[in-house]
Amino acid sequence: MDQRVFHSSMFLCLLLLITCNNIVLVPQAEARAFFVFGDSLVDNGNNNYLLTTARADAYPYGIDYPTHRATGRFSNGLNIPDIISEQIGSEPTLPYLNPALDGERLLVGANFASAGIGILNDTGIQFINIIRISRQLQYFEQYQQRVSALIGVEQAQRLVNQALVLITLGGNDFVNNYFLVPFSARSRQFALPDYVVYLISEYRKILVRLYELGARRVLVTGTGPLGCVPAELAQHSRNGECAADLQQASALFNPQLVQLVNQLNSEIGSTIFISANAFQSNMDFISNPQAYGFITSKVACCGQGRFNGIGLCTPVSNLCPNRNVYAFWDPFHPSERANRLIVETFMIGDTKYMNPMNLSTIMHLDSRT
């Protein structure tokens, strides 16, 4: 057996989480599988295997990753799933399309996420070949067949039922669909409030399908403050204020997503879905970057033009020397250090951030069953 897999399958000792004023002891259960669905915020390399422009497989992406090489993560280093894996005592999940994801490595879980996708199938069409959410769910079915062949149907079902699942969707349905161009097809079809209702109705189908496929602990993240990313500041902001229309989109979408999560849990009669307030997690350091050790939350570390928010992060872009003091790595994505702050709220945040409970509480409850 691979030594890393062996060690990750052992019972882990207490995880010590230290916040500014509190020490929280989080008992860790036996390391569980981890599955990831969603977009570029959580993609860790699937798009490397696709003919698409939505890629992060070249320098300076990955500059602070342990190998100092681009991995397909839209980050200078680790992304949100990597850090969650650290916190729950699991090996980082491999991209599902990575040929190395085979044999006992399958038991760690898998990352199905693909940069550019959204809740809707017409989101991200400009990126051409990406793994839309319906396809990600089909791959999850295929994964389960592969694991069943490895350890048997009953054990495979147990592995999936006991796994932690992360799903991050919605941002691209606004940025790369509704607001992509003036008078977009979707903006002509729907007023913004009606579009959000439609998105939520489609998201319901996705979450129900995840449950049908065996997911029993699903962390559902809302959208971040879409109007505050450097790309939007560059296009729509005169003095660094967040873009109002995209902020309104987040303000409409996120409460309805929480409501959906509560409705589904009520219908099922169990706490399956947990909503994470990514908007607030981001706004904490965006609105007061200095309090979190950042020198700016408006200018991206890597980019060009106003706020380093124009175009893509490339080898010829401006590049900051110290990524730890920038909240944003590129025009759209947080730096690794910002990702760590976000995951901290997932782990130990109160009900302002997590509903109905945080990830540490989940780990504690599940360690007793």
Residue appearing with tokens 């009606």:
194
Two structure tokens written together for 92: 């980082």
Contact 278, 294 (CB under 8 A): no
Two structure tokens written together for 164: 């932690």
pLDDT surpassing 60 at residue 9: no
pLDDT surpassing 70 at residue 55: yes
* Region 316-343 average pLDDT: 98
Burial class of residue 154 (count of CB atoms within 10 Å of its CB; 0-12, 13-18, 19+): exposed
* Region 274-285 average pLDDT: 98
pLDDT surpassing 50 at residue 303: yes
For residue 203, the SS3 value is helix
Is the bond preceding 60 in cis, omega lying within 30 degrees of 0? yes
Which residues belong to the active site? 40, 330, 333
Q: Per residue in 163-185, pLDDT tens?
A: 999 999 999 999 999 999 999 99
H or E segment and range at residue 235:
helix 230-236
H or E segment and range at residue 275:
strand 273-276
Two structure tokens written together for 230: 């450097």
pLDDT surpassing 80 at residue 267: yes
Residue whose C-alpha is closest to residue 80's, from 38, 30, 47, 109: 38
Q: What confidence score (pLDDT) does residue 31 get? A: 76
CA-to-CA distance for 340 and 353, rounded, in angstroms? Answer: 15
* 18-32, 135-149, 312-326, range with the lowest pLDDT: 18-32
For residue 310, the SS3 value is strand
Two structure tokens written together for 33: 């599988």
| pLDDT, the chain, mean | 92
User: Angle, nearest 10°, between helix axes 192-212 and 133-151?
Assistant: 10
Q: What's the pLDDT band for 18 if we cut at 50, 70, 90? A: very low
pLDDT surpassing 80 at residue 295: yes
Domains (ranges, CATH) in the chain? 34-227+240-277+355-367 (3.40.50)
Q: Are strands 34-38 and 109-111 parallel, antiparallel or unpaired?
A: parallel
Contact 211, 205 (CB under 8 A): no
Give the DSSP letter string of 261-310. HHHHHHHHTS--EEEE-HHHHHHHHHH-GGGGT-SBSSS-SEEBSGGG-B
Cβ neighbors of 348 (< 8 A, separation 6 or more) are 17, 19, 22, 24, 26, 358, 360
Is the bond preceding 356 in cis, omega lying within 30 degrees of 0? yes
Q: CA quadruple 324, 326, 327, 331: dihedral positive or negative?
A: negative
* Region 225-253 average pLDDT: 97
Q: What confidence score (pLDDT) does residue 247 get? A: 98
Two structure tokens written together for 191: 């007023």
Instruction: Return the ∠ at Cα 168 (arms to 162 and 173), rounded to 5°.
Output: 150
Q: What's the pLDDT band for 30 if we cut at 50, 70, 90? A: low
| Residue 234 backbone phi and psi in degrees, to 5 | -60, -35
Q: CA quadruple 298, 300, 301, 303: dihedral positive or negative?
A: negative
Q: What confidence score (pLDDT) does residue 152 get? A: 98
Q: Per residue in 106-138, pLDDT tens?
A: 999 999 999 999 999 999 999 999 999 999 999
